[in-house]
């Protein structure tokens, strides 16, 4: 089976500049906060690690393009053991000197390459993998419209407790699937914050899954109806700003939808932290008076907010504006942050791999001396919690994993 031709240009442009230096797997540069790059490679080191970071993956792609390795189901199993976090691109583009721009900065986009290969595997019939196929089926089922396979009405049960949520408005909330179905208390805490700040929002019960999972596994063709429906639904309800508390939904709405459509959306898209920082800057959140020693908090950068969307500062500004808090950075943070391991379909198809990567992140948080590990992504929260549950008592006594929304709400 040959590579689909309309993506050969992507492969050629991004593959040829690769020098095979191996920084995408081995870079350790303390002066810039770089301590290794690929979480999958580190987790798979006993199983032929060269294949599990970008240099090895680029070499396999070269063999595919030269006809030495055919597209296959076996190949797909390997391809999807990548969280598509983008950390390899970060280190590949690093010159360590702000006045020097490397040639690779203008060319190699590893995430774009892996996305293209996944699309080819889907179109060739070797993907989606078993669990991924189920997720897409559930997502497109009129009775579900979520990748968890649950009744569509369950996503909106929590709204009954908040009659003040309007059906139309300029500021509309996109709930997504993960938070209402796996973190419903976080949504209630979000409403606690917004109510305390006097902020009104609107929401529709006719939103569908954003389709992030389908995009990440390369099945974009299944999204045509979904994208059209979601955009029209919020447009008709008068949205001027749409916000979400999910990093995956945020990236999908703000980056993927416009790219797939080839045009701008009719409204602005924001993450919940961008809404909260506005409230904080206007002194609209009435925090409780804090006494005693400050609580040490460290922030985990979700890949879909950080490397994919460059949203690093605002979540940190939110945290530092909470009374009685001291923000402590982990050894790897911002564009060098270690992925939690859940993205790119890894969590659903290879849950043990995802949890193994998350354990490394929790150990790093413990090493920072922080008491709270917080983040702003439901996928990260879920995977970090799964890893946390398997860790020993000593770790659990030192740190807790808390969604940034829940943490803010606890201080009101």
The band of 1, judged by pLDDT with boundaries at 50, 70 and 90, is: very low
Q: Is the pLDDT of residue 2 over 50?
A: no
Which residues fall within 8 angstroms of residue 163, CB to CB, at 6 or more apart? Answer: none
For the chain, percent of residues with pLDDT exceeding 90: 81
Q: What is the pLDDT of residues 41-93, one digit of tens each?
A: 999 977 767 899 999 999 998 888 888 999 999 999 999 999 999 999 998 88
pLDDT of residue 78: 96
Angle CA 138–234–375, to nearest 5: 65
Comparing 102-106, 179-183, 284-288, the range with the smallest average pLDDT is 102-106
Give the phi and the psi of residue 160 in degrees, each rounded to 5.
Answer: -60, -25
The band of 33, judged by pLDDT with boundaries at 50, 70 and 90, is: confident
Q: Is the pLDDT of residue 140 over 90?
A: yes
Tally of CA atoms within 13 A in the half-sphere of 245 that contains its CB: 26
pLDDT of residue 96: 64
Residue 156 DSSP class? G
Q: Which residue has the higher pLDDT, 35 or 97?
A: 35
162, 168 contact by CB (below 8 A): no
Cα(77)–Cα(56) distance, integer angstroms? 15
pLDDT of residue 296: 98
CA dihedral sign of residues 327, 337, 403, 201: positive
Residue 403 DSSP class? E
The band of 16, judged by pLDDT with boundaries at 50, 70 and 90, is: low
Q: What is the pLDDT of residues 335-380, one digit of tens each?
A: 999 999 999 999 999 999 999 999 999 999 999 999 999 999 999 9
Q: Which residue has the higher pLDDT, 380 or 33?
A: 380
The band of 31, judged by pLDDT with boundaries at 50, 70 and 90, is: confident
pLDDT of residue 45: 79
Q: Is the pLDDT of residue 387 over 50?
A: yes
Q: Which domains does the chain have, with CATH numbers?
A: 5-123 (no CATH), 130-280 (1.20.1050), 287-409 (3.40.50)
Cα(265)–Cα(269) distance, integer angstroms? 9
Residue 321: is it exposed, middle or buried by C-beta count within 10 angstroms (0-12/13-18/19+)? middle
Which residues, in sequence order, are bridge partners of residue 268? Answer: 241
79, 217 contact by CB (below 8 A): no
Mean local confidence (pLDDT), 278-303: 96
The band of 189, judged by pLDDT with boundaries at 50, 70 and 90, is: very high
Beta strands in 190-275 (DSSP E): 241-244, 268-271
> Between β-strands 372-375 and 171-174, what pairing exists: parallel, antiparallel or unpaired?
unpaired
Number of H helices, E strands in the chain: 21, 9
pLDDT of residue 65: 85
pLDDT mean across residues, the chain: 93
Which residues fall within 8 angstroms of residue 53, CB to CB, at 6 or more apart? Answer: 24, 25, 37, 38, 40, 41, 88
> Between β-strands 325-327 and 372-375, what pairing exists: parallel, antiparallel or unpaired?
unpaired
């Amino acid at each position: 089976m040959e590579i689909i031709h309309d993506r050969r240009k992507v492969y050629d442009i991004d593959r040829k500049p690769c020098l095979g230096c191996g920084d995408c797997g081995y870079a350790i540069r303390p002066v810039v906060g770089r301590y290794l790059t690929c979480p999958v490679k580190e987790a798979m080191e006993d199983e032929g690690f060269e294949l599990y970071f970008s240099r090895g993956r680029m070499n396999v792609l070269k063999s595919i393009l030269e006809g030495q390795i055919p597209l296959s189901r076996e190949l797909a199993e390997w391809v999807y053991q990548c969280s598509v976090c983008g950390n390899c691109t970060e280190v590949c583009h690093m010159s360590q000197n702000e006045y020097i721009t490397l040639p690779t900065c203008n060319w190699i986009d590893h995430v774009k390459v892996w996305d293209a290969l996944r699309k080819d595997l889907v179109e060739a019939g070797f993907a989606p993998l078993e669990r991924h196929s189920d997720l897409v089926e559930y997502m497109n089922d009129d009775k579900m419209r979520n990748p968890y396979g649950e009744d569509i009405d369950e996503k909106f049960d929590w709204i009954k407790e908040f009659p003040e949520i309007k059906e139309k408005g300029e500021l509309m909330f996109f709930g997504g699937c993960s938070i209402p179905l796996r973190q419903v208390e976080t949504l209630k805490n979000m409403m606690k914050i917004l109510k305390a700040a006097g902020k009104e929002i609107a929401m529709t019960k006719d939103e569908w899954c954003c389709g992030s999972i389908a995009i990440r596994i390369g099945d974009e063709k299944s999204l045509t109806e979904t994208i059209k429906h979601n955009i029209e639904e919020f447009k008709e309800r008068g949205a001027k700003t749409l916000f979400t508390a999910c990093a995956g939904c945020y990236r999908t709405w703000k980056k993927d939808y416009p790219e797939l459509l080839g045009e701008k959306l009719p409204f602005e898209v924001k993450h919940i932290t961008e809404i909260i920082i506005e409230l904080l800057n206007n002194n609209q959140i009435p925090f409780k008076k804090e006494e005693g020693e400050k609580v040490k908090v460290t922030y985990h950068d979700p890949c879909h907010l950080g490397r994919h969307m460059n949203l690093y500062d605002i979540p940190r500004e939110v945290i530092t504006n909470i009374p009685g808090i001291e923000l402590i950075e982990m050894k790897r943070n911002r564009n060098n942050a270690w992925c939690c391991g859940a993205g790119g379909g890894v969590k659903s198809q290879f849950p043990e791999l995802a949890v193994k990567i998350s354990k490394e992140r929790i150990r790093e948080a413990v090493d920072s001396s922080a008491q709270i590990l917080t983040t702003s992504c439901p996928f990260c929260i879920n995977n970090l919690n799964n890893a946390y549950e398997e860790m020993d008592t000593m770790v659990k006594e030192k740190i807790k994993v808390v969604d940034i929304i829940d943490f803010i709400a606890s201080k009101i």
